[in-house]
Amino acid sequence: MPGPLPPIPIESITSRIFLIRGQKVMLDSDLAELYGVKTSALNQAVKRNHERFPPDFVFQLTGKEKDEVVTNCDHLSRLKFSPTLPYAFTEHGALMLGNVLKSTKAIQVSLLIVRAFVQLREILSTHKELAHKLEELERKVGIHDQVIVDLVEAIRQLMEPPAEKRKQIGFATDK
């Protein structure tokens, strides 16, 4: 078995993971580059093994989705004038590609891709925890704000002079 791949930074893989249709995916061109094959060869391998790639593993982008991805990602500008719509692979689809391509490099790259998806999931989990804590803090502050507003209102009411003048106590003579 050949030695390990030259190090591919996880960040270079996570930067190629997109959120499309509510799923974290990688495009066929990015995966082909990582696996060291042509995009057409990668897609041909998927077509030959279509039973391994159900719709929750891979789907083809619409023209609008392709335009949006190309617009937002500089490294995908090569797809701008491509007549074919790219395929998007979920984490499971990207891992299945490693099994279908059957090379040592494919196995090593698929491990890196899985690690990138896991790291991204951990980051998102941390953000969700932080968002939950901020929401909880906002609720507490909101409760305290209302109490402070009520206290200030009570103080203002105490500072106001009485609305009507009281009669003096004692004996008064008619003059």
Higher-pLDDT residue of 114, 47: 47
Neighbour count for residue 138 (Cβ, 10 Å):
11
- Residue 112 is predicted with a pLDDT of 81
Residue reference for tokens 């106590």 = 169
Weakest-pLDDT range from 56-65, 86-95, 118-127, 159-168:
159-168
Of the chain, the percentage scoring pLDDT greater than 90 comes to 16
Looking at the chain, the whole-number percentage of residues with pLDDT higher than 70 is 84
Q: Tell me how far apart the alpha carbons of residues 146 and 72 are, in angstroms, rounded to a whole number.
A: 43
Condensed to tens digits (0 to 9), the pLDDT of residues 109-166 reads 877 888 888 887 777 777 777 777 777 777 776 666 777 777 777 777 776 766 666 6
User: What does pTM read for this prediction?
Assistant: 0.63
Look at residue 4 in the predicted model and tell me its pLDDT.
56
* 14-35: b (≥16 Cβ within 10 Å) or e: bebbbebeeebbbbbbbbbbbb
CATH number of 10-124: 3.10.260
Spatial distance between the Cα atoms of 133 and 142, rounded to a whole number of angstroms: 14
CA dist., res. 60 & res. 87, Å (int): 4
DSSP state of 132: H
